[in-house]
Structure 1
Amino acid sequence: MSLVGELAARAHAVAAVAMPPAVRATVRAHLTDAVGALVAGRSTIEGSVAGLARTLSPEFGAARRTAFVGGVYAHAWEAGDIHRGAVLCPGCVVLPATLAVLPARPGASADEYERAYLAGYEVALAAGAVIGGDRLIQRGWWPTALLAPLGAAAAAAVLLDRPPEVTASAIALAAQHAGGSIAGATDRADGKYLLAGFAAERAVTAFLAADSGWTGPLDILDAPRSPLRRESLRLPEPYLTPGTSLKPHAGAKHLQGAIDAVLELRRAGGWRPGEVRRLTCLLPAQLAGIVDRPPPFSSPLSALGSAQFVLAIAAIRGHCTPWDFDDAALRDDTVLELARVVRVEPAGDLTAAYPAKWGARVELTTVSGVATADRLDARGDPGNPLSHDEIVAKFTTLATRELGSERARAVAESLLRPGAGVSALREHVLPLLSGTFVRPPENAAAGAKPGGSS
């Protein structure tokens, strides 16, 4: 069987059986987390996204627009989830794609939605595992843009109860139309904001095409010439979703443990930013060079991956949220002064533990001496998961500006509560994306393709 076929079978297999309680709790946690990231993105960059969204094709425009806008919002500040092994951020693509087609399934239950959501994660992460997300990112490709649409297309097919052959074609078409490079500098370019939006739109387009009878090359992930050919012969056993990390802070995953460590030292007190002589951030060698980005900070995108910026912000403000990357923060003299004494260096023990662990150690040198804090597992990693209250608190932080604190907390609790998630999505989230999609009756069955060539 082709990898596409295996992935389609995986999607339907995981959706056809009752989820283990721990897996269901994990799915709800990741769903809640992705929604929070989306709402925060909408709060901060709605104006920029709206103009581009209007240029989308009118054909299937509502669904594609919802997916695109939702994807851009959901990954705007890198506040969503990530699987370290697959190097993949599934939520920012699976969530907007499933939201885009949800109106076409008005009777969908929370259980059906959660099964489809899980199917999307499992397909995307399995593809990342066997194709090699780490290999792709080393070549300048963003694995999320390339592979998460495979899962999102599968999730859309499962949610709308399509047969496996439609799911397989949707996965194949999403792979055939893959793209998304992270090569190049972000100092004066903001196109990286759009990558998750294009990925989600691509996933929905692939599903809509497959649902209308278009067929994808089922051997695309096995063909010798394929840039997405499989590296491993066997899919990993399910479930992969519980191995996906949640991020407690905005910014690159590489720095989550370091931010935690700085916040620990901040809580311990006894020093002020002006007294810091040196702040050393020790990381795995594989990560250190990527995030060593000293000031000046010319754009929010460059600051998101800068150890110097995020650690200075965390030390001074006690948090690192989407609202800490505004122009004022990038030029704040206090932030810049502390950022200039941040040094990023590799550590042998952390390097040896990578990629299973993305650890960090922070050494703070002040006029009073040296203090150290370690994090082998950042908060939100599978080895150090966020609690229910921590997930709600993060969601509330991300969504309060849009929803208000009481409503934001209520939405988070609804998404985490059995049976309430779909209602919360329909009532509180879909209206923010201004999209609706109802499949025309004449195109409802596979095979109703209006012309063209497969």
Structure 2
Amino acid sequence: MSLIAQFADHLHRPVPTTLRRRAALHLLDWAGCAVIGATTPVSRLLSNILLTAPQGPCAVIGRADGVGPEAAARYMGALGNIYEMDDVDKRARLHPGPVVIPAALAAAQANGADAEALLTGIVRGYEAMVRLGRALGDAHYRYWHSTASCGTIGAAVAVASILGMDRDATGHAVALAVTRTGGLWETRNDPRSHAKQVHNAMAAGDGWLAAVMAAGSLRGPGGILDGKEGLFAATAGNADPSLILSGATRDGWCLSDISLKPWPACRHAHPVIDAALALLDRLGQTRLLPGQVSSIGIQTYGDALRFCDRPVPGTVIEAKFSLQHSVAVTLLGGPPPLSAFEPAAIADPDTAALRTKVKVAVGEPYESRYAARFGARLAVTLSDGTLLVQEQDDALGDPENPLPDDRVAAKANTLMRAAGMSVNEVDRLTEECLSLADDGPVRLSWPVRIGEGVQ
């Protein structure tokens, strides 16, 4: 059997009920991220382009009328990552929810699928996307936005599952999806770029299309992953194809390994945020005063510096990708809300002054443990000479340091309320998401009118 055929066989295993229940929680987490994302200027630009086709069976945020499944997958696929609060697999270093879930929802609504089929498709889509990301490894992640480059495959597998496609057709859906993969990290070097959202939109929509094409008997190249001119050869010099089919997971499925993010910043900044909060807790204080701090030292892993060493952030997205800003706002204000990364917080004189006192470096054991573990060491020297050191082995929300289910729901509720939804609207959408685990209807009450987000 070809690698793709073996992969398709792996993906067709029965999905346990416990994993479908977990998938419903991830759907709620994504829903909160997508609703707040829909309040932003980039979402309106995308809606003007992606939601112009005739009406269809798929509900989307901000519209009373439904749209077609491809338009729904693309538009909703763009929304979940905007606020940087989407779920993440730390070993693959990608965000499955924002791509897999919109494609799965579009397929389920367009084809009248039930909740079991939807959640099963989500679990399988996560499995495909995460396993490919882990197999591609460091050389791929160095240049490629893995959420996009692997997301097309995750979306295709989720849709193929919902459509009831057999192993052979699923393999061809994967092959066709791989031929459309893309998304380069150069987008993070231009603060004006909207390409990160475009990457996700294209991955969700192209994955949906690849599955539909395979269902219509179109075929893809069987060696597209490991062939001499395939994805591994072209984009990942140190790829480990064995990780497509093997590699330890908590219960046999990658969904159990996925982390949920409590803070509105790049995941690489979360260990230092958690360390700062733990330090405040040790002191019995909710915040430090600006004059109390003489210097701050951060030791962490190399990718955290590569993505998030920004001592002077100038925009919201740069602040979310700044270790210096993340630790400063946390030490000065406690658990960082959405507003902690907004222009007013960036320009705050006390925050700006504290950022200048932060030094960052790669350190052990964080570098050698990465990417299996996301950790950091925070050393704060107070103005009286006292040295406070806090080690953070695992970020909050990782499987080793899990975010409780009620906090996941509270996070989604907070994001929905920040988007302008009423309490009743929030409660209804929350219940609709979670009730899918008990075979509730695949009918989510997206807000038709939403406010301006804090971004």
TM-score under structure 1 length normalisation = 0.85
Change (3 A) 1:378 1:413: farther
Do residues 118 (structure 1) and 136 (structure 2) align? no
The root-mean-square deviation of aligned C-alpha atoms, in Å, is 2.7
Q: Conserved in 2, the CA contact under 8 Å of 1:274 and 1:338?
A: no
Q: Conserved in 2, the CA contact under 8 Å of 1:188 and 1:298?
A: no
Do residues 178 (structure 1) and 188 (structure 2) align? no
Structure 2 counterpart of 1:236, which letter? S
5 Å-filtered alignment, 1:242-261, equals: 242-261=256-275
Give the C-alpha shift of residue 180 in structure 1.
0.3
Matching residue of 1:69: 75
Matching residue of 2:148: 145
Give the C-alpha shift of residue 365 in structure 1.
2.2
Do residues 93 (structure 1) and 99 (structure 2) align? yes
Structure 1: how far apart are the matches of 2:44 and 2:440?
27
Do residues 31 (structure 1) and 27 (structure 2) align? yes
Matching residue of 2:209: 205
Structure 2: how far apart are the matches of 1:48 and 1:85?
33
Do residues 416 (structure 1) and 430 (structure 2) align? no
Identity of aligned residues (%): 27
Q: Conserved in 2, the CA contact under 8 Å of 1:247 and 1:380?
A: yes
Give the C-alpha shift of residue 294 in structure 1.
0.8
Structure 1: how far apart are the matches of 2:440 and 2:208?
19
Structure 2: how far apart are the matches of 1:363 and 1:377?
17
Give the C-alpha shift of residue 29 in structure 1.
2.9
1:339-378 CA-to-partner distances (Å, cap 9, x unmatched) read: 2222212222222322221111222222242323221111
Q: Conserved in 2, the CA contact under 8 Å of 1:10 and 1:119?
A: no
Q: Conserved in 2, the CA contact under 8 Å of 1:350 and 1:359?
A: yes
Structure 1: how far apart are the matches of 2:56 and 2:435?
36
Structure 2: how far apart are the matches of 1:92 and 1:11?
20
Change (3 A) 1:100 1:404: same
Structure 2 counterpart of 1:345, which letter? A
Structure 2: how far apart are the matches of 1:337 and 1:226?
50
Give the C-alpha shift of residue 301 in structure 1.
2.3
Structure 2: how far apart are the matches of 1:304 and 1:404?
27
Structure 1: how far apart are the matches of 2:436 and 2:191?
44
Change (3 A) 1:428 1:300: same
Give the C-alpha shift of residue 122 in structure 1.
0.9
Matching residue of 2:132: 127
Give the C-alpha shift of residue 253 in structure 1.
1.3
> Helix, strand or coil: the match of 2:48?
helix
Selected match of 2:347 from 314, 331, 342 = 331
Change (3 A) 1:410 1:182: same
Matching residue of 1:82: 88
Structure 2: how far apart are the matches of 1:148 and 1:407?
30
> Helix, strand or coil: the match of 1:426?
coil
Structure 2 counterpart of 1:196, which letter? N
**After the TM superposition, which of the residue ranges 397-406 and 385-394 deviates more from structure 2?**
397-406
Structure 2: how far apart are the matches of 1:409 and 1:277?
45
Give the C-alpha shift of residue 324 in structure 1.
3.5
Change (3 A) 1:86 1:260: same
TM-score under structure 2 length normalisation = 0.85
5 Å-filtered alignment, 1:386-405, equals: 386-402=403-419, 403-405=421-423
Aligned pairs, how many?
424
Q: Conserved in 1, the CA contact under 8 Å of 2:178 and 2:231?
A: no
1:105-158 CA-to-partner distances (Å, cap 9, x unmatched) read: 32x33222111110101111222233x2422112x1111111121121111111
Matching residue of 1:168: 171
Matching residue of 2:157: 154
5 Å-filtered alignment, 1:333-372, equals: 333-368=349-384, 369-372=386-389
Provide structure 2 residue ranges, at least 5 long, that are not aligned to the other structure: 58-66, 234-238, 451-455
Structure 1: how far apart are the matches of 2:376 and 2:230?
36
5 Å-filtered alignment, 1:310-325, equals: 310-325=326-341
Give the C-alpha shift of residue 55 in structure 1.
6.8
Q: Conserved in 2, the CA contact under 8 Å of 1:271 and 1:366?
A: no
Give the C-alpha shift of residue 323 in structure 1.
4.1
1:89-118 CA-to-partner distances (Å, cap 9, x unmatched) read: 111110111122222232x33222111110
Structure 1 counterpart of 2:198, which letter? L
Matching residue of 1:231: 240
Change (3 A) 1:40 1:3: farther
Structure 1: how far apart are the matches of 2:89 and 2:176?
24
Structure 1: how far apart are the matches of 2:440 and 2:203?
23
Change (3 A) 1:93 1:422: farther
Provide structure 1 residue ranges, at least 5 long, that are not aligned to the other structure: 434-454
> Helix, strand or coil: the match of 2:225?
coil
Q: Conserved in 1, the CA contact under 8 Å of 2:20 and 2:437?
A: no
